[in-house]
Amino acid sequence: MSQIPEVFQQGWKPPVQSQERLPGHQKLINPRPIDDITADGKPYKASGKLEGKSAIITGADSGIGRAVATLFALEGADLTLTYTPHEEEDARDVEKAIHEKTKNTRKVILLSFDLRDEKNCQSLIREHLKAHGNKLDTLVLNHADQMMNTDIVSLPTEQWNEVFQTNINSFFYITKAAVPHIPRGGTICFTTSVNAFKGNPKFLDYSATKGAIVAFAKSLSSQIVGEKGIRVNAVAPGPIWTPLIPPSMTDDAKEKFGQSVPMGRPGQPVECATCYVFLASTDSSYISGQVLHPNGGNIVV
């Protein structure tokens, strides 16, 4: 019988640690976030849910994006993964890990883009199609920035604009370029946040963009699910242990991270990644315009 890892047990608290640069390095976080071990301590068991599919996953060098990429590959998908330029080492580590776990049976393309630029977003779609035989079945937009600030008066306008450009404007740019190439039966999935529903006074700009993502997903689904047959959904994680945490929070916030949810601990990326697998597969064929909430038991409406 597998032993349940400590990180999945109620009351687990990650040690307080710091990193200087957003979004944080996977290689420096301790303990490393879990990509493909389930809460019973067993390896994730794939069943070919995405066999023959081709997917783009943004922000895939670490955290939730890395776990989504890992499970998609295990389920049979070929991938294009994006990362920011200073995260290349983490991105190469994801690529290596996927090849090892899948015995080199999956095609993985790494692309580094500043997705705040619409032309780069258009290039992402072109490069993916070129590498994967003009095939794009699933689009997962997961990248984001967050920076703590507790007073709207002191929140720099430049920060507000940058967070919106990264967290929501780029979603529009990429989706606009991708939709003409996604076939009927294809899927789009956005990463939003529990903060879109509860609000967070420490992350005003971030929370606002995550609310915009929810509205974008629901509106886009209403626009295209009937006409084009493309399902659009979102995932709203609660407190998840990723490299984004050490560089974006105060030590006091890190000390309390994940302790207030009913399950009494932060979640692991794998506990979100299974949601994306479900939404990209035919298991969710009658679901569109919806949000899944892997958040440790918080009730949101």
Residues contacting residue 285 through CB under 8 Å, at least 6 positions apart: 231
Query: Hey, how many other C-beta atoms are within 10 angstroms of the C-beta on 153?
Result: 5
Question: With contact defined as beta carbons under 8 Å apart, do 48 and 105 qualify?
Answer: no
Question: With contact defined as beta carbons under 8 Å apart, do 71 and 36 qualify?
Answer: yes
Tokens of 121: 């977003």
Tokens of 51: 């066999």
**Which one of 83, 173, 206, 276 is the catalytic residue?**
206
Token pair 């035919």 is at which residue? 282
Residues contacting residue 192 through CB under 8 Å, at least 6 positions apart: 210, 211, 213, 214, 217, 234, 235, 236, 291
Tokens of 287: 């679901």
Going by C-alpha positions, the residue among 269, 275, 277, 294 that lies closest to residue 64 is 269
Determine whether 206 is an active site residue: yes
Rounded Cα–Cα distance for residues 77 and 56 (Å): 10
Rounded Cα–Cα distance for residues 111 and 123 (Å): 10
Question: With contact defined as beta carbons under 8 Å apart, do 169 and 92 qualify?
Answer: no
Active site positions, annotated: 206
